[in-house]
Amino acid sequence: MTGGKLARRLGPFDATAIGLGSMLGAGVFAVFAPAAAAAGAGLLIALALAGFVAYCNAAASAQLAAAHPESGGTYVYGCLRLGPWWGFTAGWGFVVGKTASCAAMAMTFAGYAVPGYEKPAAVLAVLLLAAVNYRGVTRTALLTRILLSVVLLVLATVIALSIMDASADRLTGDWFGRGPLGVLQAAGLLFFAFAGYARIATMGEEVRDPRRTIPRAIIGALAGALVIYLLVGAALLLVLGPDRLAASTVPLADALGAAGHPNLTVVARIGAAAASLGALLALIAGVGRTMLAMARNRDLPHWLSAVHPRFSVPHRAELALAVVVCGLVLVADLRHAIGFSSFGVLVYYAIANASAFTQPEEARRWPRWLNLVGFLACLLLAAALPIVSVLIGLAVFAIGLGGRALIRR
C-alpha cells in the first residue's frame, strides 16, 4: 500500500510517554559527560539555557502541530509556511540528525548493557526495535511505557543515594569551563537531550484529538524532562565533581560507586539500557514518519511512502532506516554522533520557529517574539558546537540541498 493514511491510535498519556521516553534516553545517560567537559561546573547553567531554547522550540512545534496535525513535523510546516526548499532543509536535517541519534542510542545501550560486545549488541538492538515498530504504533507506545517506568525508578534510586554523599566542596574549578563559549557549547550538546518532544509532532497523524493532545503532550514531556535533568545533573556534580564527570563513560554508575554503593552500579546499567532502548524505539518511529512525509512529496524515493495495510506503519521507511543505522553503528563514534545530531536538529528547530513566526494571530498560542528568540538561539547554539560537528553538518546539508537541486532540474 503506497500513499495510505496512518491510524489515530495515540491518546494524551501515550503521546506524552513517547516524548518523555525519547528525551530521558538521550540525555541522562549519554550527554552529561561531554557537556561537563565543555562547561565545567557551569553545567547547570548550560542545562538551563538548553532548556529555555527547548521551550521556545516546543512552543513553536506545539502551535504548528495543532494547526497541521500530519506526519512529518517541521518538514510539513516548513513546506506549508515558508516553501518547499525550507521544508526540505528541515526534513533533511531531522532525518540525518536523528539517524545519527539512533546510532548514538544503540551504542549507549550496548556500552552499558554488554561492554566488550558493543557493536554486535547495538546492531541487534536496532533490528529488534525496528521489528517492534513494524508491528504498529500501539506496540511502540506500550513498550515505551514499560521502559519509561524502569528508567524513572532507576533515576529516583540514583538521585536519592547520590544526594546522601553530595558535597558542595566538589564543585571546584572554573564555573564557566572554557569560558562563555564552553557554556554555549555545552548547551548545544545538552540540547540533544531535549529534542525528544519532536517525536510527538512527527507522529501527529496518529494522535487522537491532535489539536488538544499534541500541545499538552509536548509541553508536559518537556517540563518533566527538565525537572529530571536538573536533579540528575546536580547529583552528578555534587558527587563526582565536574572533572571526574567529564572523564566518565558511565556517569550514573560512577556516581553510585562514589556514593558508597558499588554493588548497585548494575542498577544504573539496567536503567541506562532501558532508557536507551526507549529513546531508540521512539526515534525509529519519528524518523520513519518524517521519511514517509518526504517520500509522499518525492523529496525522498517515493517507494518509502508505503504504509503497511495491516499495521498502519511506514514499514519501508523504517526498514531502510534500520539498515542505515546499523551501518553507522559499525563506523561511528558516540560523541561525534551526538554533536552532529545536535547540529542537524538545531537547524530543524530554527526552521520550526521561523514557520511558527508566520502563523496568523488566530492560530497563535504563544507570542511571536518567542519564535524569534528561539530561531536566533538555535543558530547560536549550532554555531557554538565543536567545529568537527559544524563542518560535517554543513557538508551533509550541502549534499542534500545540492542533490535536490539536481533532481529538480
Q: CA 154 to CA 368: how far, in whole Å? A: 39
Are 80 and 297 a contacting pair, CB within 8 Å? no
Confidence tier at 7 by pLDDT (50, 70, 90): low
Residue type, 315: H
Q: Is the pLDDT of residue 203 over 70?
A: no
Which H/E stretch holds residue 104? helix 84-113
Catalogue all structural domains in the chain, each as residue range(s) with its CATH number: 12-408 (1.20.1740.10)
Write the DSSP assignment of 109-166 as a string of letters. HHHHHSTT-HHHHHHHHHHHHHHHHHT-HHHHHHHHHHHHHHHHHHHHHHHHHHHTT-
pLDDT in tens, 109-126: 888 888 888 889 999 999
pTM of the model: 0.78
Q: Is the pLDDT of residue 218 over 80?
A: yes
pLDDT in tens, 331-381: 877 777 778 888 998 999 999 999 999 999 988 888 999 999 999 999 999
H runs (alpha helix) in 165-304:
180-194, 198-202, 210-247, 251-258, 265-296
Over range 262-269, report the average pLDDT: 83
| Grid cell listed for 75 | 518538514
Q: CA 256 to CA 235: how far, in whole Å? A: 10
Write the DSSP assignment of 372-386 as a string of letters. HHHHHHHHHHHHHS-
